[in-house]
Structure 1
């Protein structure tokens, strides 16, 4: 159990890290400990936390867990050392000052119970005085100094000196200050080196499989500046046995000097024991401490890369979840395919399935006219307003079918529905899920995909919450990231997105309700079951009739649930039921009815929040209430728009350098953004081609789901790679667009780290920005990155 003093220390550290007041942190920590969720605290407890937003609260929650684990581990280490009778004031002070778990473990290492080591065996043989003598008196001749220690347990002088060496090596390896300094130097001056694994270099099937890693067959880059996507790429290459990866710490002599200084060895002294001591220092570095530093650097490298990758995934997922909904309009969903046909599903404005079938317009059946007639009948019969086309196999061919249908309708004088391409990512996962089987028990798995595509167009958020976030496909190396880290981060993103939009209590699915603040999966199922049994909820208060939904859960969830056309108009807004008395006070003071003031922007903006604030509901909450009354239940998502793909451009070979096309951003990575321009293969806008200024983060310019206009800069048909630019005035170079020899790909030596140079970064100046990172940079680096970015 953490002491109160430790809690204060944790709060102080959190306040310092977040650059906020400690009182804000204390309030947030108290609310979290009481079971409040981040969305609830951010929205409805602004007075307590000083208006900390959900981003700050998520960071606080994450760090709070780490610091509490740190305190628990510190307490355990202190107890262990105390039980050994070795705890001194100095040691305790060092442990109390430790700011990371790694530092605590470094300090604890000499006292940590361990198996018998060679150094321990040497101590038991009485060889520690020999080690101390050679350190204290370098003028002593090692063999002569070792002679008195030869006996029953020590065979000869060489064995004695060997034991003394192991004692000194362990002494250095357990020096917390030294270990920390070596670790930081290795990180600062070390580099990652990769080469082709033996199997990949020898040719054959293994070599062919490894060609996607060919840019890393002779590669080096500094540890502290290697971007996350390249880290995860080389780690994947190592895992697939395509690459051999090593970490090089740089100049070995510098590490040996540090070890010598820590042990008190003067390597420059012309003394009899100096060669032996120098060999001991060298042995310590090469056999133990370099290994430890390399392992630490590898862990740090991976963790940093994972953090960056998860951050990219989280931002993309948030953009996708908060993409513009088409709304409650009857939608026809098409899941394209060739041999198995195009699966068709029609859903009404509430998402209810009203019709399904399959059509076969494409090879091998080629029933084009029949398929078009079937779609026309469905559109007419159900009053279809939107057509959603999945963007997978046969999507462009299916889009052409729909375009022809719509043209025929215009010719006949009928108003055609709008069409849009929809990402299929994760649709197959949903179709085969246990929830889909319960939700659509009478539909074949393949038809469920068409239903999901239609619903995604109506409301991306409501449909995507049914899919495990990592399966949605907007990440960067999501399958290489530690699952627990990814799940926790993405779960928070989904929760924040759902609660930012709000949920219609009378139409929401159980998976959507389970993402609402305070509602567990079990409660979500109970809410839906009660709705199915008793009918729609007339008010938020009716939620309290749901079994096992108590006052605490109600407090956490009520403000995020919406009831349209219910008993109380406020139930359709983001005003929390606990604040309804504030609304009544506003109405009384203004002398108007609720119906008269809702949406009355002029009247509401004339009111002063301070006039209605009290001890419980302060100015921030009253300000939010007035905002909700102005636009009750407002949706923070943008207006719905669709991209118009160019006619006749259906595959990579149809692209020509210089074309300007409309497309949709499908994914944003650390090195750029992928854009679907309707050719079954996303093109890449490298970060260097995003703006006429330096862009450090592609998210500054674009986000997933955004409709953009791009210029084709490069086309590699053989490797199915497309280079794009958001700068429509970019002039492609003369050699762009030519088909390279298979497997060669565009390359530029000044676009990547210099081979064999541990510090080489290909920098053109002293800014730290590579040629590929600046406006006008080469697309070669972009395409190499893209080969590993999806």
Structure 2
């Protein structure tokens, strides 16, 4: 074996991980190297982002999350690359060219393309043909198109080859396999298919479109759209339709069903070029070779290109869906807390009644019951009297109404109750609608049974609803993030991807707010940097046995909580009224000596300087910076001293729903209402305006400028003012706009308002699609480009 076939011939080693990541993320290599070292040492993203700014050059949590994810991918890529190199080398087939190709591969898919010819596999038809001695025939036919295939094949008839047809069939399989294992060709075909391909959907059968279950997919019974422009929510919708056997889904390399597009011809030309075949060359063998190229495309390469495109389409759609879910979840977790106020929680229901729970400012259950104001019992006045007695007895300050079944009717009950209390001259509680997504999951959980022993499972939901108003973050962490239900198609997304992304969101939210060490539940503590579920339970057990923590240092008394865990978690845990006022702040214990230096220099005590904005802003961070604690950390410390333990969440406000507007039929085009954003999707935001049916603000109606992401404008839980631009009572659909100056027309006029008309970018894409070549039978539904509110609603699974 010469030197070119050994691993010694490999080119210079790959750049370091930090070099590659720095180039990808457009940050300094020293920043990346420091972050990698800290992550490998077991530090969490929140800890690094908050307390290691000097090391990482102040990389934020979003950058660190991206770095962590890409670091994992690149390490897996490098491991696979090395395994492939070793496998090919063991076969004695490793060349300098192969090594260079593998070393330059930037994706796992590219590595697998290169490895495909050398990958151990079961005996293929091509391998059987080689064993029968037919490879020379394939070589001859490729080299000389003037050969007559049948004549050339006659020389290979023997024991394993019965006739010329069998010989030519074997040669064809060999040529097809060569094409299918050509990494450059496969990669080029894959990219062209992706850039030019289309999705087409049809009803699964002649009877499928008649079933009630399939009606939600009826917009896709004759539908097509380019791969690269199909939004993620539509991809997941058609994939769900395929899974439920309502739709058939096919991918085409060009405009579907268009005989003039010539898509297959382009791909076959690429294959022919890769095999060195001139399909225009004169010769008796050219037709056979052309047929072989077509066979290769139809049976192998189009299939692999389609499968690759489907995987890529799903992955992109899942990433989009998870991104939307994560943003909504973050908004919900960081929603404004009502605070430590006695709250009455109402879990609405018709037949089973409205479940009621009163909790004090700390979330402790004071009282529970059930009332039956709605059908079939219709005990309206009795229900109001019971609730009024609870409000008076416990000094209720807030009423939280769950937004599930019978929520509007229950909200009306609460409204009348508040009005009656005010009429009697007493102080009335405020009222707010609360998302009860996942409340039933919590109610039936083992943790709820442990936390609320002896309380009926039906009443636990009311307790959770009340606590969600007091502190959404503390209550929602008790529920698996995917069960909170603020995303689209979350059940269609790969569980591991969803869990990893949402887990990171919860972790970042919890650590951004901070946790009261003496009141936090085990699920909340388990989301703190460096604390596992086991450690969280140990902390709670220690607190129950030894009493409240007086200082952060007492955490080290908790069994199995060592110095590393203490380093990671201490700064995010708060102790109110403890031995050291700094324990109530976000200052890490390791930085307490810095605070002492500042105090000594200023000649004041800690109690004097805390909250003294003028004195703190007069201090120059650079005067106290050293090798360990630089200007970023000193700046953060001064900010913490100015507002110790500050909560980054917004102030609590409640929406004032319009009086007399209780159902969709009460809405009129042109009304301006106040509402609460309940969900944000890729195509717009859903807003609760108090009529039992959320309205949609399409992305095109969110601002007087182009909006690419609705999250730029609104967030879940935000109180907004909207104008009604469309009302469809029959289908219970409401079109809203955040542009309050829009001139909307009354019912009967042109219903295609600015809020429901495609945005300019979508109009351009629709025009481009109209101008693309297509066959007479090609579907036209894709021309709308998904711009209308009605299409957005159908994509989301609302109505018909």
TM-score, structure 1 normalization: 0.94
**Alignment gaps of 5+ in structure 2:** 1-9, 255-262, 775-781
Q: Distance in 1 between matches of 2:609 and 2:82?
A: 58
Give 1:407 deviation, angstroms.
1.5
1:148/1:89 CA distance change after superposition, 3 Å: same
| Secondary structure of the corresponding residue to residue 16 of structure 2 | helix
Q: Distance in 2 between matches of 1:128 and 1:359?
A: 84
The corresponding residue for 2:235 is 231
The corresponding residue for 2:312 is 300
Match of 1:419 among 431, 442, 456: 431
The number of equivalent residue pairs is 769
Give 1:600 deviation, angstroms.
0.4
The corresponding residue for 1:131 is 138
Q: Which moved more, 1:224-233 or 1:406-415?
A: 406-415
- Report if aligned partners of 2:726, 2:751 keep a CA contact under 8 Å in 1: no
The corresponding residue for 1:765 is none
The corresponding residue for 1:743 is none
1:699/1:737 CA distance change after superposition, 3 Å: farther
Q: Distance in 1 between matches of 2:785 and 2:115?
A: 45
Q: Distance in 2 between matches of 1:400 and 1:90?
A: 75
Q: Which structure 2 residues correspond to residues 513-662 of structure 1 after superposition, within 5 A?
A: 513-662=525-674
Q: Distance in 2 between matches of 1:312 and 1:721?
A: 22
Give 1:44 deviation, angstroms.
0.3
The corresponding residue for 1:447 is 459
Q: Does 1:779 align with 2:789?
A: yes
Q: Does 1:269 align with 2:281?
A: yes
Match of 1:287 among 271, 285, 299: 299
| Secondary structure of the corresponding residue to residue 528 of structure 2 | coil
Q: Distance in 2 between matches of 1:737 and 1:432?
A: 50
- Report if aligned partners of 1:754, 1:760 keep a CA contact under 8 Å in 2: no
Q: Distance in 1 between matches of 2:799 and 2:167?
A: 56
Q: Distance in 1 between matches of 2:175 and 2:770?
A: 34
The corresponding residue for 1:764 is none
1:616/1:240 CA distance change after superposition, 3 Å: same
Match of 2:16 among 5, 9, 13: 9
- Report if aligned partners of 1:431, 1:449 keep a CA contact under 8 Å in 2: yes
The corresponding residue for 1:143 is 150
The corresponding residue for 2:7 is none
1:735/1:189 CA distance change after superposition, 3 Å: farther
Q: Which structure 2 residues correspond to residues 466-505 of structure 1 after superposition, within 5 A?
A: 466-505=478-517
- Report if aligned partners of 1:715, 1:738 keep a CA contact under 8 Å in 2: no
Q: Does 1:103 align with 2:110?
A: yes
1:737/1:392 CA distance change after superposition, 3 Å: farther
- Report if aligned partners of 2:515, 2:574 keep a CA contact under 8 Å in 1: yes
Give 1:779 deviation, angstroms.
3.3
Q: Distance in 2 between matches of 1:297 and 1:278?
A: 26
The corresponding residue for 2:181 is 174
Q: Which structure 2 residues correspond to residues 751-790 of structure 1 after superposition, within 5 A?
A: 778-787=788-797
Q: Does 1:157 align with 2:169?
A: no
1:789/1:274 CA distance change after superposition, 3 Å: farther
Q: Which structure 2 residues correspond to residues 708-727 of structure 1 after superposition, within 5 A?
A: 708-727=720-739
Match of 2:450 among 438, 444, 457: 438
Give 1:716 deviation, angstroms.
2.4
Q: Does 1:86 align with 2:98?
A: no
- Report if aligned partners of 1:219, 1:755 keep a CA contact under 8 Å in 2: no
**Alignment gaps of 5+ in structure 1:** 741-745, 762-768
The corresponding residue for 1:62 is 69
Q: Distance in 1 between matches of 2:96 and 2:750?
A: 72
Q: Does 1:428 align with 2:440?
A: yes
| Secondary structure of the corresponding residue to residue 478 of structure 2 | coil
Q: Distance in 2 between matches of 1:546 and 1:673?
A: 46
Give 1:40 deviation, angstroms.
0.2
1:757/1:255 CA distance change after superposition, 3 Å: farther
- Report if aligned partners of 1:657, 1:737 keep a CA contact under 8 Å in 2: no
| Secondary structure of the corresponding residue to residue 715 of structure 1 | strand
Measured on the aligned residues, the alpha-carbon RMSD in Å equals 2.3
Q: Which structure 2 residues correspond to residues 400-419 of structure 1 after superposition, within 5 A?
A: 400-419=412-431
The corresponding residue for 2:219 is 215
1:128/1:789 CA distance change after superposition, 3 Å: farther
Q: Distance in 2 between matches of 1:279 and 1:561?
A: 71
Q: Does 1:364 align with 2:365?
A: no
The corresponding residue for 2:250 is 246
Deviations 1:653-675 (A, max 9, x none): 33222222211111111111111
TM-score, structure 2 normalization: 0.93
Q: Distance in 2 between matches of 1:699 and 1:278?
A: 53
Give 1:679 deviation, angstroms.
2.0
Match of 1:456 among 445, 468, 475: 468
Q: Distance in 1 between matches of 2:440 and 2:524?
A: 19
Deviations 1:517-555 (A, max 9, x none): 000000000000111111100000011110000000000
- Report if aligned partners of 1:220, 1:760 keep a CA contact under 8 Å in 2: no
| Secondary structure of the corresponding residue to residue 396 of structure 2 | coil
Match of 2:205 among 189, 198, 206: 198
Give 1:202 deviation, angstroms.
5.9
Deviations 1:167-188 (A, max 9, x none): 0000000000000000000000
- Report if aligned partners of 2:655, 2:674 keep a CA contact under 8 Å in 1: yes
| Secondary structure of the corresponding residue to residue 149 of structure 1 | coil
